[in-house]
Amino acid sequence: MKYLGILILAIGVGLCAAFGARLSDGMYEQTRLGGQIALLEAQTDKAWADYCAAREAAKLEQGECAPPEEADDPPADTPLEAAEDGAEAAVEDEAAQTPTYDEALAAEKAALAGVAPNAEGLSGPPAQARGRWLEARTALVEPRAQKASTPLPGPETRLAGWFELSGMPFLGGLALIVIGAVLGRRAAKAELSGDSKSGDDTRVDFGVAVADLAQKLRALADRAAALDAPTPAQRKEVQAEIEALQLTRFGPIVEARYQLQNRIGLAGFAHVFGPLSGAERWLNRSWSTLADEHWPETRTSLARSAEQMAEAAAALAEELKQAG
Amino acid sequence: MAETQSSGPPTGGIAPYRELTPAAVVFGVLIGIVMTAAFVYIGLKLGFTLPGSTVAAILGFAVLRGVLRRGSIIENNINQTVASGVNNASSGIVFTLPALFLLSATNTDITVEPLPAILAAIGGSFLGVAVIIPLRKQMIEFERLRFPSGIAVASLLKSPGAGAQQAKLLIGGALIATLIHVLANFHILPHEIDVGGPIGLPVYFPLAIYVSFASVGAGLLSGKGGLPFVLGGVLAWWVISPSVVLTEWVPTAAALGFSDAPAGYDGWSAGTVYGEMLRPMGIGVLVGGALAGVFASLPALKSALKSLSQAAKAGSSGGSDELSPTILYMGIGGAIVILFGAAMLSSGSISVVQGIGIALVGTVWLALAGLVVAQATGMTDISPLSGMSLIGVTLMFFMSDGNAVASIVLGVSVCIGIGQCADMMSDLKSGHLVGAIPRKQQIAQFAVGWIGVPVAVGVLFLLWGDGGGFGPSNPELSAPQGAALAGVIDSLGQGAAPLDKYAGGLAIGLGLGVFPIAGLGVLVGLAMYLPFSITLTYGIGCLTSIALGRKLGDAWIGSTLVPVAAGFIIGEALTNLGATLIQLAVG
């Protein structure tokens, strides 16, 4: 049941995410125009770079290709970039009220007219290269006008448009997620309560493990309390014992915590794990203080750890009694 | 404020154990201030900052243990908590407030007033620390989230007492990570190894490895707990991405008007899948997953609050370790009042009713987003801070009727608060592992969390000068994140919020919350939100850890793999720090 649940869940997430990813018609159109412009702009930039290379090969002055002047202020645009920026600004100003296609087209054509003339009377490869650039630049006019005159769909329109297109398969996927998750929950519950045939050998008897740990911590704390000035060997022994408790006692209890959660519920689990984690933290502290060679604080920390572990053991007994 | 002795029997003439000491706080504040100023600068220059907690731990450890030859393990933990608490303001402010400066350069109606921004940021900072009070128990003690950087920092702090072998492993791991990171920084190694391209896979079916040993280390420390994140990435990038391209839901070359796919088409289609589809939906899944998590853990949260409250009243053994929930309620109340004040001061056009709405929604969002970021960081060490902040700004934009100033000023608050949650939680995880008393860590963070705010805002004003000190037109300090946020504010004005993707993602996240794996929605959402190369590298770490665990056992993982993985994270953070300092030195 567990694997069936995971499989159904995965199919559900796949369906939901795929149909959720689908763009509404309005956004598809915006994306299409944006993509067309981006790729055409890349072609235009490449054509411009080729043109500049052709000028260089023909040993012409940089002319239109001159880089912006070096200055302390923000870099200035080339004459060509300035003309382009001006045109874009004009289109953006109009876009504030979303221009009609004709208005946007007129603005784009005006911008193109500003950069189109071959004012230097170029000839040969540079002129041909400039012609190719102009052709690429001209191809941008219509898509840009179309994009400027197509308003971006608002959030609600996007939501409604998407739901109309993908809502049903998305909801189907969502239902599969819930079915898969419920099956997964049942399987997990069966596994944790021992009804599963999975042969789980990591089961922990919490009543025994927690009581045993509480006892061991109390014994360690009492032994530490009896030592006023431990020798380095005694300190090392205590450190080894702390490390063993951290790894072999706390580790398995923490690892198997979902079994406990399943048995006594989330609130009961919190009731036990609050003091248990406190005991673990105080034990960690005793390790740190031992490493810092501060024996009085080590003794205090071990005592606090034992105290909190006793609290955890009492809480567990109470919760287990309630759970029957 | 500083306490120097923990409760307990007389110490027999030995000085009290050093924990929350003036030295730890003062050095922490100084380190934090230097980090804040430096990180604001580097954030404006590069568009990202460094992992504050880890860097603070390295610097604090070097100063207290190395130079001054003093300080206990837990005192170092407090020092690192303080330094990263101060520095938290740097990323919160540098990712948001520059947008306001940039908008003011092109719009004469917009002016940048420091007071509302500082107020909002301080409000966010306090709330961020406050909401962590009950969540600490939930995430660290009950859910046992890994917080790989928290483990790495704890390994560093414990290294003096952990024995020579563990120290060697830690240093060895750090050296490997440093070497690889330096080689990548000098372009001797690529930042990303493209495996898919050479074998003919299209860009929308990515197979690339992100060259970062910190990511591998995070995966090693997460082990099997990180697997759902990797599977989420596989689903997003190897199933959904090719599906939406092949079903032509992404415009084909023909639909774009080209007879053959032009150069760059594959890259554009992959970018569209990521930017228009997976990323916004991933943000929605993250939020839905976190909401589901809140519902699922309500009984435990209620129990945690009850025990905190009882302990505070009775002063029982465990209770004195924690701050009282009263502080949480006061923090929430205070944050609402401060956010209301910041909203009213930010713009004359905000009405009182709007101000109240902004304060309430901002507070709720901050708490929820803080939970998302803390959970994501706890499970994977990766923080979706920018996505959560983006939603925060969007919410504020709509709540303020499209007022750019108010939305950015309150966005600052949200960004700082969320960052504070993740940072505090990671420090508390380190604290748990070294045995610090959470109450003292939280008191320290409350006391200093605000200090970085005026420092970061002041640095921004200094760098801005008479105008144009940073921004896209200044190649030295291009403020990429601020410019991106200004662009978002512009596009929000045109109605560009992808509500459909957020809503769809939210529903998926809520659905995943029913499955019996805690945080599944957050992990899947994070996988959709991130480029796949990061997820894959992290996954290599997870799978390696699982394989080694099966072969060599848990004891070996604890004694050998953990220090090596911690070394990876620390080594990369250290290299980043060095590179940052060199960049600052050479301008």
Residue of B nearest to A77 (CA): B473
The domain spans of chain B are 22-107+116-586
Residue of A nearest to B513 (CA): A181
Residue of B nearest to A178 (CA): B511
Among A170, A294, A299, select the one facing B504 at the smallest CB separation: A170
Whether A298 has its CB under 8 Å from any CB of chain B: the answer is no
Residues of chain A with Cβ-Cβ distance to B504 below 8 Å are 16, 19-21, 162, 170
The total of other beta-carbon atoms located within 10 Å of residue B26's CB is 13
Instruction: List pLDDT tens digits, range B548-584.
Output: 989 998 778 878 898 899 899 888 888 877 877 777 6
Residues of chain A with Cβ-Cβ distance to B300 below 8 Å are 266-267, 269-270
The C-alpha angle with vertex B389 and arms to B388 and B392, in degrees rounded to 5, equals: 90
Q: Do B277 and A159 touch (CB under 8 A)?
A: no
**What pLDDT score was predicted for residue B70?**
73
Distance of CA B481 to the CA centre of its chain: 15
Whether A230 has its CB under 8 Å from any CB of chain B: the answer is no
Phi-psi region of B322 (alpha: psi -120 to 50; beta: other; left: phi over 0): beta
In Å, how far is A112's CA from the nearest CA of chain B? 21
Q: Which residues pair with B210 in a beta bridge?
A: B192
* pLDDT above 70: percentage of residues in chain B: 95
Q: Which residues pair with B192 in a beta bridge?
A: B210
Among B72, B140, B239, select the one facing A14 at the smallest CB separation: B239
User: If DSSP codes are grouped into helix, strand and coil, which group holds residue B194?
Assistant: strand
Average pLDDT, chain A: 86
Q: Do B317 and A311 touch (CB under 8 A)?
A: yes
Whether A284 has its CB under 8 Å from any CB of chain B: the answer is yes
Distance of CA B98 to the CA centre of its chain: 19
Q: Do A35 and B272 touch (CB under 8 A)?
A: yes
Whether A167 has its CB under 8 Å from any CB of chain B: the answer is no
**What pLDDT score was predicted for residue A161?**
94
A75-to-B258, B476, B485, B496 alpha-carbon distances in Å = 35, 12, 23, 31
B499-to-A20, A170, B200 alpha-carbon distances in Å = 11, 15, 35
Whether A318 has its CB under 8 Å from any CB of chain B: the answer is no
In Å, how far is A219's CA from the nearest CA of chain B? 18
Q: Which residues pair with B208 in a beta bridge?
A: B194
Which residue, among A135, A149, A140, has the nearest Cα to A111 in the 3D structure?
A140
Answer whether residue A82 shows pLDDT above 60: no
Instruction: List pLDDT tens digits, range A215-224.
Output: 999 999 999 9
First-to-last CA distance in chain A? 28
Answer whether residue A96 shows pLDDT above 70: no
Q: Which residues pair with B194 in a beta bridge?
A: B208
- Window A:172-211, CB contacts with B under 8 Å: 174, 177-178, 180-182, 184-185, 188-189
Residues of chain B with Cβ-Cβ distance to A291 below 8 Å are 73, 158, 160-162
| Cα B472 from Cα B98, distance rounded (Å) | 11
Residues of chain B with Cβ-Cβ distance to A42 below 8 Å are 262-264
Sorted by sequence, the CB contacts under 8 Å of residue B81 that are 6+ apart come out as B28, B424, B427, B431, B441, B444, B445
Q: Do B499 and A284 touch (CB under 8 A)?
A: no
Q: Count H helices, E strands: chain A?
A: 12, 0
Residue of B nearest to A185 (CA): B516
Q: Is the dihedral of CA B149, B152, B154, B157 positive or negative?
A: negative
| Cα B392 from Cα B407, distance rounded (Å) | 8
- Window A:79-108, CB contacts with B under 8 Å: none
Q: Which residues pair with B193 in a beta bridge?
A: B209
In Å, how far is B73's CA from the nearest CA of chain A? 6
Q: Which residues pair with B209 in a beta bridge?
A: B193
**What pLDDT score was predicted for residue B447?**
93
Q: Do A177 and B512 touch (CB under 8 A)?
A: yes
Which residue, among B408, B390, B389, B404, has the nearest Cα to B349 in the 3D structure?
B404
Phi-psi region of B233 (alpha: psi -120 to 50; beta: other; left: phi over 0): alpha
**What pLDDT score was predicted for residue B131?**
87
pLDDT in tens, chain B (587 residues): 444 444 444 445 578 898 999 989 999 999 999 889 888 887 887 776 676 778 888 888 877 777 777 779 999 999 999 999 999 998 889 889 999 999 998 888 888 999 999 999 998 999 999 988 888 988 999 989 989 989 999 998 998 777 778 778 888 999 999 999 899 888 899 988 999 989 999 999 999 999 989 889 989 988 888 888 899 999 999 999 999 999 999 999 999 999 888 988 989 999 999 989 998 999 899 888 888 887 887 787 777 777 777 776 665 444 578 888 888 888 889 889 988 998 898 888 889 999 999 999 989 888 888 888 888 888 888 888 878 888 888 888 888 888 889 899 988 998 899 889 988 999 999 999 999 999 999 999 999 999 999 999 999 999 998 888 898 888 778 888 888 888 888 778 777 778 899 999 999 999 998 888 878 888 898 888 888 998 999 999 999 999 998 999 877 887 889 889 989 988 888 887 787 777 767 65
Residue B137 contacts residue B349 (beta carbons within 8 Å): no
Q: Name the band, by pLDDT with cuts 50, 70 and 90, for residue A117.
A: confident
User: If DSSP codes are grouped into helix, strand and coil, which group holds residue B172?
Assistant: helix
Residues of chain A with Cβ-Cβ distance to B141 below 8 Å are 273-274, 277
The total of other beta-carbon atoms located within 10 Å of residue B171's CB is 16
User: If DSSP codes are grouped into helix, strand and coil, which group holds residue B208?
Assistant: strand
Q: Do B500 and A275 touch (CB under 8 A)?
A: no
Instruction: List pLDDT tens digits, range A265-304.
Output: 888 999 999 999 999 999 999 999 999 999 999 999 999 9
Residue of A nearest to B302 (CA): A267
The domain spans of chain A are 25-152, 206-323
The total of other beta-carbon atoms located within 10 Å of residue A241's CB is 17
Distance of CA B175 to the CA centre of its chain: 25
In Å, how far is B199's CA from the nearest CA of chain A? 25
Residue B70 contacts residue B79 (beta carbons within 8 Å): no
Q: Do B268 and A38 touch (CB under 8 A)?
A: yes
Ramachandran angles phi, psi of B259, nearest 5°: -75, -40
CA dihedral B396, B400, B404, B406 (to 10 degrees): -80
Whether A301 has its CB under 8 Å from any CB of chain B: the answer is yes
Q: Do A16 and B17 touch (CB under 8 A)?
A: no
Q: Do B504 and A275 touch (CB under 8 A)?
A: no
| Cα B533 from Cα B185, distance rounded (Å) | 18
| Cα B9 from Cα B130, distance rounded (Å) | 32
Whether A289 has its CB under 8 Å from any CB of chain B: the answer is yes
First-to-last CA distance in chain B? 39
Q: Do A184 and B496 touch (CB under 8 A)?
A: no
**What pLDDT score was predicted for residue B4?**
43
Answer whether residue A68 shows pLDDT above 80: no
Residues of chain B with Cβ-Cβ distance to A283 below 8 Å are 435
User: If DSSP codes are grouped into helix, strand and coil, which group holds residue A105?
Assistant: helix
Residues of chain A with Cβ-Cβ distance to B496 below 8 Å are 152
| Cα-trace Rg, chain B | 23
Answer whether residue A105 shows pLDDT above 90: yes
Q: Do B501 and A20 touch (CB under 8 A)?
A: yes
Which of the residues A284, A288, A318 would you substitute to probe the B interface, choosing the one with the greatest number of B C-beta atoms within 10 Å?
A288
**What pLDDT score was predicted for residue B520?**
87
Residue A172 contacts residue A180 (beta carbons within 8 Å): no
- Strand segments, DSSP code E, in chain A are none
Among A177, A284, A286, select the one facing B508 at the smallest CB separation: A177
- Kindly state the tokens that stand for A180: 């898969």
Name the DSSP class of A77.
P
Which residue, among B572, B560, B569, has the nearest Cα to B166 in the 3D structure?
B560
- Kindly state the tokens that stand for A287: 């390790």
Q: What is the ipTM of this complex?
A: 0.83
- Kindly state the tokens that stand for B120: 């909002």
Q: Do A181 and B512 touch (CB under 8 A)?
A: yes
Instruction: List pLDDT tens digits, range A226-267.
Output: 998 899 999 999 999 999 999 899 989 998 898 898 889 888
Phi-psi region of B312 (alpha: psi -120 to 50; beta: other; left: phi over 0): alpha
Residues of chain A with Cβ-Cβ distance to B76 below 8 Å are none
In Å, how far is B260's CA from the nearest CA of chain A? 12
Instruction: List pLDDT tens digits, range A128-157.
Output: 999 999 999 999 999 999 999 988 888 889
**What pLDDT score was predicted for residue A202?**
60
**What pLDDT score was predicted for residue B247?**
92
CB pairs under 8 A between A and B: 253
Instruction: List pLDDT tens digits, range B294-345.
Output: 788 778 777 777 777 777 666 544 457 888 888 888 888 988 998 899 889 8
The total of other beta-carbon atoms located within 10 Å of residue A21's CB is 28
Sorted by sequence, the CB contacts under 8 Å of residue B268 that are 6+ apart come out as A35, A38, A39
**What pLDDT score was predicted for residue B12?**
52
Q: Do B17 and A289 touch (CB under 8 A)?
A: yes
Answer whether residue A162 shows pLDDT above 90: yes
The total of other beta-carbon atoms located within 10 Å of residue B462's CB is 12
Q: How many CA atoms lie within 13 A of B247 on its CB side?
A: 13
